[in-house]
Amino acid sequence: MKPERVIVDSFKRKGVNLMVSLPCERVQRLLAEIPRHFRHVPLSREEEGVGICAGASLAGARAGMLIQSSGVGNTINALCSLTKFYQLPLPILVSWRGVYDERIAAQIPMGKYLPKLLDALEIGRTELADPRELSAVEDILGKVFEENTVHAFLLNPKLWGENMRGMENIVVERKELEEQQHKVLRIRPHFTRFQLMEAAVPYLEGKAVVCNLGYPCKELYHLKHQKSNFYMLGSMGMASAVGLGIALNTQKEVVVVEGDGSILMNPSTLATTALTAPRNLTLLVFDNGVYGSTGNQPTAANGYADLELVARGFGIKNTYKVATKDQLHRVLEELGEGPNFIHAVAKPGNVELPNVPLSSREIKENVVEFLKS
């Protein structure tokens, strides 16, 4: 049996039902098989894939990633402060570049250091260079999901034999963008994030809520703690990706409480949200123009980037801009199918509150229990 089919069959037998990926020409044949057998989310950046898989896991799905070895470097913080921190399972298929017949010199350094890097992060790894070694994949996958660990399968190009170079390039017809008429709506902030969040609390009742780290988590816990709240204690920039992963794997309504600094750190997730278009997802973005949790340093949204236009530019059609409690109430009451993007313009300022008094394990277990109900 061809190596790509052995890998796919192993993942299927272990219940994997979602795969996220960024392409590599060495694994084109494996990439071609994935959409035929799994729900597939093509990524714009590897780090967002970690978040999507984390959200999927919270919602009861079994998810895996396929990325290049160079892309592993983009995932390090998220793997440590999200996946490992909350004890979520994640198998990663890695196209291991720079170790065999490599023609791109820039791929060699990461390929060389990758095993040591994974060891330093205490992430399990299995090097696969011969098709006969693939028989171990299924057993390892079983342990990943039983023990809630992260494991990297390093796919040496030798695996593919004469087919190492993959397939001919796929011919794709370029889609035309829809013409969008949208004027820039400039509004002045009247309330702080805390005040606007307080106004949004009734809408959050009974929904899965993923909250950006720092002060927003403290404020949400104070205003509306519920077991369905997933408090991001680390991994800045990943809240939208986690919320997307949950929304794609549940029928429940999902709200992501975001900030301008977080959105600007991983804006590619907006493109992936538009691409996958979950109807049950709303992004509630409190934009106060500063990094509120680190001392109110200005962000690019302070007088420059219009986040609502950014969201529309990435393809999210249902966008709204609000600055008052009444405007926010009206939008929330009339909100239809998603994905929705609410740009809530706020004044800088934090409310001094204690940290969320929950461990990462308690947070995870509460959300998993809610999503199962």
Each residue's pLDDT tens digit in the chain (373 positions)?
A: 899 999 999 999 999 999 999 988 899 899 999 999 999 999 989 999 999 999 999 999 999 999 999 999 999 999 999 999 999 999 999 999 999 999 889 899 999 999 999 999 999 999 999 999 999 999 999 999 999 999 999 999 999 887 666 566 566 565 665 655 555 567 889 999 999 999 999 999 999 999 999 999 999 999 999 999 999 999 989 999 999 999 999 999 999 999 999 999 999 999 999 999 999 999 999 999 988 877 878 888 888 889 999 999 999 999 999 999 999 999 999 999 999 999 999 999 889 999 999 999 999 999 999 999 9
Report the candidate in 296, 293, 254 with the shortest Cα–Cα distance to residue 273: 254
Beta-bridge mates of residue 211: 231, 257
In what helix (H) or strand (E) does residue 302 lie, and over which residues does it extend?
none
Name the residue among 343, 301, 300, 286 with its Cα closest to residue 318: 343
Residue identified by tokens 């993959």 is: 166
Instruction: For residues 57 and 138, give the distance between their C-alpha atoms in angstroms, rounded to a whole number.
Output: 19
Burial class (CB in 10 A: 0-12, 13-18, 19+), 132: exposed
Q: Please report, in angstroms and rounded to a whole number, the separation of the first and last CA atoms in the chain.
A: 41
- CA atoms of 42 and 23, how far apart (whole Å): 9
Give CA–CA dist 107/42, Å, rounded: 22
Q: Are the C-beta atoms of 329 and 197 separated by less than 8 Å?
A: no
How far is residue 243's CA from residue 230's CA, in Å, rounded to a whole number? 9
Contact of 336 with 281, CB cutoff 8 Å: no
**Cβ burial, residue 287 (10 Å; 0-12/13-18/19+):** buried
- Long-range contacts of 329-335, Cβ-Cβ distance < 8 Å, separation of 24 or more: 329/199, 332/200, 332/203, 335/282
Instruction: Determine if the pTM surpasses 0.85.
Output: yes
* Domains with residue ranges and CATH for the chain: 3-163 (3.40.50.970), 193-372 (3.40.50.970)
List of residues 6+ apart from 365 with CB closer than 8 A: none
- Environment class of residue 74 by beta-carbon count within 10 Å: exposed (0-12), middle (13-18) or buried (19+)? middle
